[in-house]
Structure 1
Amino acid sequence: MSGRVVAAGAVALAVVLALTLGTIVAVFVRAEGVGGFDPADWAALRFTVTQATLSAALSVALAIPVARAIARRRFVGRGALVMLLGAPFILPVIVAVFGLISVFGRSGWVSQSLMAFGYEPISIYGFHGVIIAHVFFNLPLATRLVLQGWLAIPGERFRLAAALGFTSRDIARHLERPMLREVLPGAFLVIFLLCLTSFAVALALGGGPRATTIELAIYEAFRLDFDLGKAALLACVQFGLGAAVAIVALRVALPSGFGGGLDRAVQRWDQRGPLRTALDASWIALAALFLILPILAIAFDGIGALATLPSQVWTSAARSLGVAAVSVIVTLLLALPIAAWSVTSGSKLVEGLGTLTIVASPLIIGMGLFIVINPFLDPFALALPVTALVNAIMSLPFALRALVPALSQIETQYGRLADSLGMSGTARLRRLWLPRLARPLGFSAGLAGALSLGDLGVIALFASPDTPTLPLQIFRLLTSYRMDDAAGAALVLLALSLAVFWLLDRGGRVNVDG
């Protein structure tokens, strides 16, 4: 293992640990004291655990029939639907919230339809609004994860099942349930952790103290009370919750034991019959409508307001693009050395430490950075660079999950040849790794750019009135009831996020397929 790989990986990992654990220490040191939990904090803890558990459970439970239907059906537009399942994950939270309000709000499409039939309109604010938003974001992710499990069952197992005369119930018992036992704990864990650190959804749809997450309580402790001790304590509780859930999920998951196959096309003999066909079609249609309607609402409401958008929206958009560009660069500069060190050393610990940020509080990271910066520089003048850095850190786990398996495969296939040629250091990086990592690097860059563009976290704490990013500008327009301008700005942010992801992801594929 090259000493340069170890050094670069160690530096990158040290940065990650400093930003995750070091910032909590900085906030604790700056705090004048650490008190206990008051009733509001306990309420926030209960709400966070309840909504995260229910959101993850609903997302995973609904993903099972949707993924099963997609896995065993072939239909026109199947590939496009699978691609659509990735869209909500890169959708800016504030944009998705706007779309959900347009569909499920008191003046939304669903309420208008209910009122036409004499029923009361529904409200998306409060506990059920947070759940709806989290399921919208995470149902596609859960479906993709479960779908991969279904597609990983070797086709020979289904051929053997057909030869043995298995019914649908037999196939579910012997093939599908063992796969789900392996896949579902991991899917639940990822979604629970994403909901555990929810901020923008609770800020926009929470509707009051009874719908406050821990992350939102951290924001209020700092912004309203400047109680750094409470903010750090809440961050530690959130971190501990995430770690505990991860340990439990890893212990619950069991290998399916299917073994390998010959990569033959999967043929399903248990899918025949009009009732099963209609049921699968219903699940696919309902999932597609649930995902497409809010996006259509954003386009429908926003397209008419584009021509009259205030200049501040376009300035904020340019500012967000600059933040996203810095975030992409930092994400790749951290992810590649950590992935290289993890693969070349064979250590899962290195990758695990690199993904710590998935359970960290971005608000605490931002607070810690501002506390460290404050004695030397004006922290509010550095709001945008700090936001870019925090966004990069929060994108790191997803980049590592794309890079580590790809780099491991490269080393398995070409590592010994490269060693025999004396190829190491920068030569190995330029001639072996980078050309073959183009796809995962492009995907990681696109994901980091899209997530950074849509982030409404640290910038909500420290941005001055004159330097908002586009998500913060949309939030300000919503809270000032300038709904037409908010709709137009939301459409701009949606288009930018999708364009950035598409361009960077496509850039990673250029000259790769040829």
Structure 2
Amino acid sequence: MTRARALTLALAGVVALWLLALNFGALGAVALRAEGLTGLRAADWAAVRFTVLQAFLSALLSVALAIPVARALARRQFAGRGLLITLMGAPFILPTLVAVLGLLAVFGRSGLVNEALALVGLGPVNIYGLHGVVLAHVFYNLPLATRIILQGWATIPAERVRLAVSLGFTPSDRLRHLEAPMLREVAPGAFLLVFLICLTSFAVALALGGGPRATTVELAIYQAFRFDYDMGRAAALALVQFALCLGAGLLALRVALPSGLGGGLDRPLPRLEYRRGALWGDSALIACAALFLLVPLALIVARGAPYLASLPASVWQAALRSLWVALGATALTTAFALVLAHAILALPRAGALGLEWLGLAALAASPLVIGTGLFLIIRPIADPRDLALAVTMLVNAGLALPFALRLILPALRDAAATQGRLATSLGLHGFARLRLVTLPRLRRPLGFAAGLTAALSMGDLGVILLFAEADRATLPMQLYRLMQAYRQDEAAGAALLLLLSSLALFWAFDRWGRADAAA
């Protein structure tokens, strides 16, 4: 065994121990503190039912709306199409509270929709409760589902489409024989991914839940933890949440069905002719989706810009704390993903599969569950409030690791397959090989993974609420405090600052990855 391979495996062992402690050690602490599920109240079981219901409705609506939007985008070419598809990815990296404020600007009590209804003599709509939570989740996840399903359309072999054209297939024939088999393969996975995201959505329920009837399990954990100081009940709820996430995660890994379309020769799809009515329908779908996603973001900018320069010092201090947490989490995530990816390639199949599964385990984890377990572990040793930012950084790094690993591992496999033998024949090993051969070919996925991690960490509102007090608040926590205090002008400015910070971090890292990156 070479020294570089031994060092890689040793570092991977350290990362694996950290993942075990973070994901399963915290869960073990929760399980030890929980006194069974008998201590849960009727309201807690109502929260479980509400959690599953809102996640199911959110996933169902997101995928049901994404299918026609993705189909319209797949069928049409127009100026700005690429930019629109890129902008549709913005809500996924958008801080949740910023998205909530954008939706409030459109659908809130003094939002555009209620102002328009008042002009025609109709009563206002109420965004709080189940429908508000579902609306926010659809806003947040519709672009993600659309991108997944649009990729599915791109996988239909061009040869099958050309054959369908030569046979005179109508649009309904193409839907039945080409598109429906693809959707049977792609849509269930998209549904379960959105369902899993909505199960662990804490900030949306916190801001739009609207009372006991619209409380999720994570919100119930937070209330038991911060307000009732009932650690046993919080731990029991955390176990229930883990069971829900684990079940959804395992099902998401096994649900995809083979489409039966086979492979092709990667030729471009032929241009298809559609009825003029279909053109107008596709255009209307694309326009409505763009308005639904972009108008709330435009209102955040318009309402927050006048107050950005006059924000109090506490907001800027919170922004610096968030920046420190985001950059620290990004450094940890990218380093750990690189170590795990190299170790996975170096290990035998069984060991590589186990390490890869461990790296992806956080997909079924809940930040509130991990945070509860870490609080129970730390409290006998030190004051958890003193470690609030460090713990938040570690948890954010762990939760972003599955995304980074899925981006980096395929690129590393490709680099090893195409450049590995040449590098070995030239005597390149260890850090020299990493610097000269591997990293230039990983720059694009590394930049994207770092940008995604930094943006998600910058806007995270979860663990920090369990640990921190006002003097250690991050920017999302400070924004939530301003919203609670009804300081709407300052909240609008803080929301714009959070939006700009998250997008700037993502843009900077992603641009670094794309600048002069090796093909």
TM range (shorter): over 0.9
1:57 touches 1:188 (CA, 8 Å); kept in 2? yes
Deviation of 1:411 after TM superposition, in Å, equals: 2.1
Deviation of 1:77 after TM superposition, in Å, equals: 0.6
2:246 touches 2:365 (CA, 8 Å); kept in 1? no
Deviation of 1:307 after TM superposition, in Å, equals: 3.0
1:13-92 paired onto structure 2 within 5 Å:
13-30=16-33, 35-92=38-95
Q: Which residue of 2 aligns with 1:369?
A: 374
CA distance in 2, matches of 1:409, 1:386: 35
Question: Which range moves more in the overlay, 415-424 or 197-206?
Answer: 415-424
2:185 touches 2:259 (CA, 8 Å); kept in 1? yes
Q: Which residue of 1 aligns with 2:489?
A: 484
Q: Which residue of 2 aligns with 1:435?
A: 440
Deviation of 1:182 after TM superposition, in Å, equals: 1.2
Kindly tell me: are residues 32 and 176 of structure 1, through their superposed partners in 2, closer, same or farther at Cα, counting changes over 3 Å? closer
CA distance in 2, matches of 1:336, 1:226: 40
Deviation of 1:424 after TM superposition, in Å, equals: 4.1
Question: CA offsets per residue over residues 302-336 of structure 1, 9 Å max, x none?
Answer: 11112322121111111111111111111112222
CA RMSD of aligned residues (A): 1.8
Give the alignment partner of residue 215 of structure 2, picking from 192, 212, 215. 212
Give the alignment partner of residue 115 of structure 2, picking from 112, 118, 124. 112
1:439 touches 1:508 (CA, 8 Å); kept in 2? yes
1:366 touches 1:458 (CA, 8 Å); kept in 2? yes
Deviation of 1:32 after TM superposition, in Å, equals: 6.8
Kindly tell me: are residues 169 and 344 of structure 1, through their superposed partners in 2, closer, same or farther at Cα, counting changes over 3 Å? farther
Q: Equivalent residue of 1:74, what SS?
A: coil
Q: Tell me if 1:197 matches 2:185.
A: no
Q: TM-score, normalised by structure 1?
A: 0.96
CA distance in 1, matches of 2:234, 2:264: 51
CA distance in 2, matches of 1:484, 1:146: 39
CA distance in 2, matches of 1:387, 1:164: 58
Question: CA offsets per residue over residues 65-90 of structure 1, 9 Å max, x none?
Answer: 10111111000110111101110000
Q: Which residue of 2 aligns with 1:230?
A: 233
Question: CA offsets per residue over residues 204-254 of structure 1, 9 Å max, x none?
Answer: 000111111111111112112222232222222222222323333444321
Deviation of 1:392 after TM superposition, in Å, equals: 1.1
Q: Equivalent residue of 1:456, what SS?
A: coil
Q: Which residue of 1 aligns with 2:507?
A: 502
Q: Which residue of 1 aligns with 2:10?
A: 7
Q: Partner amino acid for 1:138?
A: N
Q: Equivalent residue of 2:268, what SS?
A: coil
Q: Which residue of 2 aligns with 1:410?
A: 415
Q: Which residue of 2 aligns with 1:279?
A: 281
Q: Which residue of 1 aligns with 2:471?
A: 466
Deviation of 1:349 after TM superposition, in Å, equals: 3.3
CA distance in 2, matches of 1:343, 1:179: 31
Deviation of 1:423 after TM superposition, in Å, equals: 4.2
Deviation of 1:107 after TM superposition, in Å, equals: 0.9
CA distance in 2, matches of 1:366, 1:248: 25
CA distance in 2, matches of 1:302, 1:252: 43
Question: CA offsets per residue over residues 11-61 of structure 1, 9 Å max, x none?
Answer: 212211210110121233355776443211110110011111111111111
CA distance in 1, matches of 2:91, 2:38: 39
Question: Which range moves more in the overlay, 225-234 or 84-93?
Answer: 225-234
2:30 touches 2:236 (CA, 8 Å); kept in 1? no
Q: Equivalent residue of 2:126, what SS?
A: coil
Deviation of 1:422 after TM superposition, in Å, equals: 5.1
Question: CA offsets per residue over residues 431-482 of structure 1, 9 Å max, x none?
Answer: 3221211111111111111011101111112212212111111111111111
1:185 touches 1:250 (CA, 8 Å); kept in 2? no
Q: Percent identity?
A: 58
Kindly tell me: are residues 247 and 363 of structure 1, through their superposed partners in 2, closer, same or farther at Cα, counting changes over 3 Å? closer
Question: Which range moves more in the overlay, 28-37 or 117-126?
Answer: 28-37
CA distance in 1, matches of 2:80, 2:181: 29
1:150-161 paired onto structure 2 within 5 Å:
150-161=153-164
Q: Which residue of 1 aligns with 2:138?
A: 135
Question: Which range moves more in the overlay, 315-324 or 197-206?
Answer: 315-324
Question: CA offsets per residue over residues 113-140 of structure 1, 9 Å max, x none?
Answer: 1111111111111100000000001000
Q: Partner amino acid for 2:365?
A: A
Q: Equivalent residue of 2:262, what SS?
A: coil
2:311 touches 2:490 (CA, 8 Å); kept in 1? yes
2:105 touches 2:296 (CA, 8 Å); kept in 1? yes
1:318-397 paired onto structure 2 within 5 Å:
318-345=320-347, 346=349, 347-397=352-402
Q: Which residue of 2 aligns with 1:261?
A: 264
Q: Tell me if 1:185 matches 2:188.
A: yes
Give the alignment partner of residue 452 of structure 2, picking from 433, 443, 447. 447
CA distance in 2, matches of 1:381, 1:219: 19
Q: Tell me if 1:94 matches 2:104.
A: no
2:235 touches 2:372 (CA, 8 Å); kept in 1? no
Q: Partner amino acid for 1:286?
A: C
Q: Tell me if 1:252 matches 2:249.
A: no
CA distance in 2, matches of 1:484, 1:19: 38
Q: Equivalent residue of 1:118, what SS?
A: coil
Deviation of 1:372 after TM superposition, in Å, equals: 2.8
2:153 touches 2:179 (CA, 8 Å); kept in 1? yes
CA distance in 2, matches of 1:344, 1:101: 50
CA distance in 2, matches of 1:81, 1:133: 20
Q: How many residues align?
A: 513
Q: Partner amino acid for 1:452?
A: S
CA distance in 2, matches of 1:251, 1:485: 46
2:238 touches 2:372 (CA, 8 Å); kept in 1? no
Question: Which range moves more in the overlay, 247-256 or 388-397?
Answer: 247-256
Q: Partner amino acid for 2:406?
A: R
CA distance in 1, matches of 2:27, 2:260: 42
Question: CA offsets per residue over residues 170-218 of structure 1, 9 Å max, x none?
Answer: 1111111111111112211211111011100000000111111111111
2:341 touches 2:405 (CA, 8 Å); kept in 1? yes
Q: Partner amino acid for 2:68?
A: P
Deviation of 1:412 after TM superposition, in Å, equals: 2.4
Give the alignment partner of residue 308 of structure 1, picking from 310, 313, 329. 310
Question: Which range moves more in the overlay, 480-489 or 258-267?
Answer: 258-267
Deviation of 1:513 after TM superposition, in Å, equals: 5.5
Q: Tell me if 1:240 matches 2:243.
A: yes
